[in-house]
Chains A and B, each alone.
Chain A
């Protein structure tokens, strides 16, 4: 919505559309456009080399794979935008898959109820992450990694008692394999999740507070935002979407197992970075992460066509991601500070994004 955009006389640019305003009003295409362009490039190049790549079946397959990354990246995007990081994503995914099967076996409730219960547990685990980070000031990397470890431990301990619990309830199966016309249900689910995420981030107070907290937590607190609550919510969202990603993944695989979520740790974060979201927070968008998820999926589908070995695949994959992040960043230009600033920009280093707050500086009692 072009909310009554004032026309700009020669002095300054007009108030632009909201997305670009939040990203600091960057004139050119922006990182999201660049990421989508990169995805399109990979797609077209591969399709020219191997026309079967653009076939309907392959497209459906790839869109399903992209959905798993994309759903996990919802939470990761939101957490990173607020200046945090969630490394518990893969374990939450595994948890979602395994526990749904177990719950179905034990309780035999209606499918949607089981899914809702599990999602609620996912949110609760996300809240544990959030409380650790906000109340106990544990750095996000440590906290979320520890929670991931705890989940794995729990699954191992309980899983061995019921080793045959790898069945998947029908609801997950139906969602994962269903189609609406030519579109996989999963793709539509992702689309809905994406639209909701983007609208929440751009058009709600919570979303805008997430950007503010990620940009400068100190300033956010002093301007009356409830910084800890905002962070708490982001981890809860990550708990929700990671669990959901795990549930549909298990439905697609038709089984669930301990390492099910592990391959998604890297892509969930890489998708966010590829989409141009600042890893230190405060700047970026979920559409960027969508483009990132597409790039990653296209890559892993396209590289085997070049008859590369697994080792080569991993190397190419890594290099492209590094270059990709560089490219999308480069296109945004140097929007950051042009002059030295005395304070570390909020979370100047992603790893300690929260530390300046927890330490001496922030005499916090929020």
Chain B
């Protein structure tokens, strides 16, 4: 392990200086401390990444990765510690720092109402007479930028808010790379990407490093990290606990370092054979997006749903949740299932956990508690139809424990939670609605491996208790290892269904790509 990285928190500045001389070229953060009120987000974090290196930063949600990234990119100011590039301190003022350090944020920093081109060249828009935007120049230059990056094209005139999440993420990465900054920080750049796009991003990361830039790569996908990076830094509880080369670190060692304990399994064992039909879908169509598709979800079944990006999987889930208009014949528990609105769906026991939690699930101004209970307030009423706050709190605590969320954080604003805990909050809300069918749209997106394991365990327990789940994930190995059965969607239709005995990533991917034979 790097000796400097092993330095404890809050050491004197002299040691910080001493550390610098060892490695003059590249990015070096030393003894970085950041507090939010009583919470210590970073407690002397260390990071050293050389030029020409792709350096991975991994850790659980809440380990301090995001805080460190925000400090590096000048969004936040650190309370102590220094950040240096090539041995010279980088000014901590936001503007000066962003010129040197550029970040592709996980939550994206795009302006939804502007075009792709305007977002791409946001810092350097071509302007002419009286600072007016020269559109033709704008289109031309953005096309050139995209051509130079190679392999991925987005219509420069398209409005960002109309793009699917995967395209928005690609654009965020493009914008970061095109900035020409010396240090590129890619914060979970592949979290909502399929294989092709993810490979494109990884290739770009390698290419930027080859140009002599520093690339900091944050990801929860260990396989990816292993494939692409030169060195790995693991953060836990705001401290650097391990720095090593990928070949020195087994998955086991990395996960143990991230969690501070050994994890016995990522995927829980499969449960008993599901019985009877819960949801039967016949000739379901969402105009222009899905269909017609027919399948059924059995009682207590964890049915996987896999598709490459943009094949209509989100629309399918949204239609089943009543959020999109649909045609066809649906029945739930043998009764016609009329979900013409999410409210109607929820009253019949079908609840959606949306893909984009910040946009579609969270009330960012409100507390974790309010976020959890907002959908189930009707059941928490006492005399005079007033909400019984005691019952509300105890119910929320119960669900918080079920999903593994610290009950002492219920009063915190939901913005203060890590991505994994936000997702647990959304799951707890879904459970409070006492669902018979959970529609999970990529609920492990941007969630660390420890939390993922907890979520998978939870899903298994729920299914054992007779709840069914339709589980969509953009990560194929999750779908294959977690689900009892997998429905593969391609171009809005079912490309095949694979049962547990025939489940493999090759088989599922083959079907998704349209090369495998339609199966069982």
Which residues of A pack against B, CB within 8 Å?
1, 3-4, 6, 8-16, 18, 21-25, 27, 199, 203-205, 208-209, 211-212, 215-216, 218-226, 278, 282-283, 335-345, 360-361, 363, 365-366
Contact = CB atoms under 8 A, between A and B. Distances in A.
Contacts of B161: 343, 360-361
B459 interface: no
A134 to B, nearest CB: 13
Contacts of B393: 3-4, 15
Contacts of B407: 6
Contacts of A1: 389-390
Contact of A221 (B162, B342, B378, B406): B342
A279 to B, nearest CB: 13
A11 B40 CA distance: 9
A19 to B, nearest CB: 11
15 contacts: A3-B392, A4-B393, A12-B39, A12-B406, A12-B411, A13-B37, A14-B411, A18-B389, A21-B411, A25-B413, A220-B374, A223-B342, A224-B343, A278-B365, A339-B75
Given A25-B413, A337-B415, A361-B161, A216 B389 contact: no
Q: Which of A6, A21, A24, A342 has the most CB of B within 10 A?
A: A342
B168 A342 contact: yes
Nearest to B413: A24
B60 to A, nearest CB: 15
Interface of B: 37-39, 66, 70, 75-76, 105, 107-110, 112-113, 161-162, 168, 321, 323-325, 340-343, 345-347, 351-352, 354, 356, 358-367, 369-370, 373-375, 377-378, 381, 385-387, 389-390, 392-394, 397, 406-413, 415, 429, 433
A222 B76 contact: no
A3 B366 CA distance: 18
A336 to B, nearest CB: 8
A308 to B, nearest CB: 39
Contacts of A226: 341, 343
Contacts, number: 191
Given A222-B352, A223-B375, A225-B375, A366 B408 contact: no
A229 B147 CA distance: 49
Contact of A13 (B38, B340, B352, B370): B38
B37 A27 contact: yes
A204 B360 contact: no
Contacts of B342: 221-224, 366
B381 A3 contact: no
Nearest to A278: B365
Interface residues of B, dominant DSSP: mixed
Contacts of A338: 70, 75-76, 415
A15 B343 contact: no
A13 B360 contact: no
Nearest to A227: B343
Given A208-B374, A222-B360, A338-B415, 10 more contacts: A3-B392, A4-B394, A13-B37, A203-B386, A208-B370, A283-B365, A339-B75, A342-B110, A343-B356, A344-B112
Contacts of B360: 218-219, 222
A212 to B, nearest CB: 5
B369 A11 contact: no
B19 to A, nearest CB: 29
Contact of B366 (A16, A22, A203, A224): A22
A219 B408 CA distance: 24
B340 A205 contact: no
Contacts of A211: 363, 366, 370
Closest 7 pairs between A and B when the two form their complex, measured CB to CB: A224-B346, A15-B411, A340-B109, A3-B389, A342-B108, A205-B377, A215-B363
B112 A11 contact: no
A18 B377 CA distance: 14
Nearest to B377: A205
A3 B390 contact: yes
Contact of A204 (B321, B385, B429): B385
B374 A223 contact: yes
Given A3-B393, A27-B37, A204-B386, A12 B324 contact: no
Contacts of A6: 397, 407-408, 410
A212 B363 contact: yes
A341 B107 contact: yes
Contact of A342 (B107, B364, B373, B375): B107
Contacts of A15: 367, 369, 393, 410-411
Given A223-B342, A360-B162, A365-B340, A339 B412 contact: no
B109 A219 contact: no
Given A15-B411, A211-B370, A205 B378 contact: yes
B376 to A, nearest CB: 9
Given A13-B38, A15-B393, A341-B107, A204 B387 contact: yes
B39 to A, nearest CB: 7
Contacts of A23: 365
